[in-house]
Structure 1
């Protein structure tokens, strides 16, 4: 009988510790012989199989190096290939001005929900399990908070006309805040 791989050992360890905070050292030890791969295996469980593994990026109650499987693992294990290349990721970030396309935060800003510095991720406009593709037209930059909240519920990117209508409807203080934000973002650039 073949010994379970590092991913399976981590899977079993986390399933036995649902709701308990575990450390990166415990996960590394659970992985066994492939100690250099434990972080990748945790990420695969989280991203490819839908496990609700929280880190300090998701919860202010967790410190760096702490993990929490917040609920029992899903019965159905959805698997997707890792199709977003570094080049495509760079294109999305550049096109989106290194700005979250839902809330407007940029890397280094303080997220008002988590009180942590913003990190950008690449998110799908139409989620993969709903048929979305790993292509430039279906990807956008999202901060951690928006990316976690956006799964399977977000629609298409708003149109220019819709955005302008919202700004026109807003009060003068809100319009001024939008102007100041756009001025800061684009400065004296000719559009």
Structure 2
């Protein structure tokens, strides 16, 4: 059985390590390879003990607890695997991270998954330089535990085994989790780790018309790396033609708020089960020659959008609200 790290006073461990390494000088002179290796075993143990003793949290006794404590001290920060290995005091830190994500519901994303999202237009400004996102880097995107995650990962495992396309697996999974925050790592898992998953999510939103929201596509309240299927309904074909840059321009102009009732995700009433997403409406209908341009588009909640299409709100009123 692998030796567990033994936490102790960091200064005491440091002094012991220095003393041992000082004595190691004589081993180098003796030129006996096996003796050199054996004399470094205690040094290896001491170094691990020192790393795992740096956290002052007395409750962080296990490697997994120490990794979590370190993540929670630096949320929304790109952390290197080597850092986590040091505080864990073990080399199998990656498995502990997976346990935190899959079994305990901590939204930890790999740098690789975040980088693949960025390549499809998701902004990662809050995390700093995109170049720092590598395979062996990790980010706790939200300092909050999702207790439903274990159930979702079990569902993802079942869908992942189906003999359908990556896009079909992703939309099936999202439709099983309508209105729930799903992290990119879950969708990457559905795609068996293939990098195409982020592009397929983008296609589902922009080409197939599924209202999949992210921080930069209409939900500034969401954390980086989170997706939400807001409603189990595809947009009409003409509404799918609005280019993303125009869509964002209109949403920002309208302050991510319905221009009729002032509903937004930030001021939503939890008791209102009907208003749940923002949509863009063509003032002059696209089918009648209306252009996909900002001055012909207005932000509406789904309820007010339906009222417009029932002719209960006139175009003149909408134009006055832009």
Q: Which has the higher contact order (CA 8 A, sep 6+)?
A: 1
- State the TM-score, normalized to the length of structure 2: 0.31
- State the TM-score, normalized to the length of structure 1: 0.47
More helix by share: 2
Q: Which has the larger radius of gyration?
A: 2
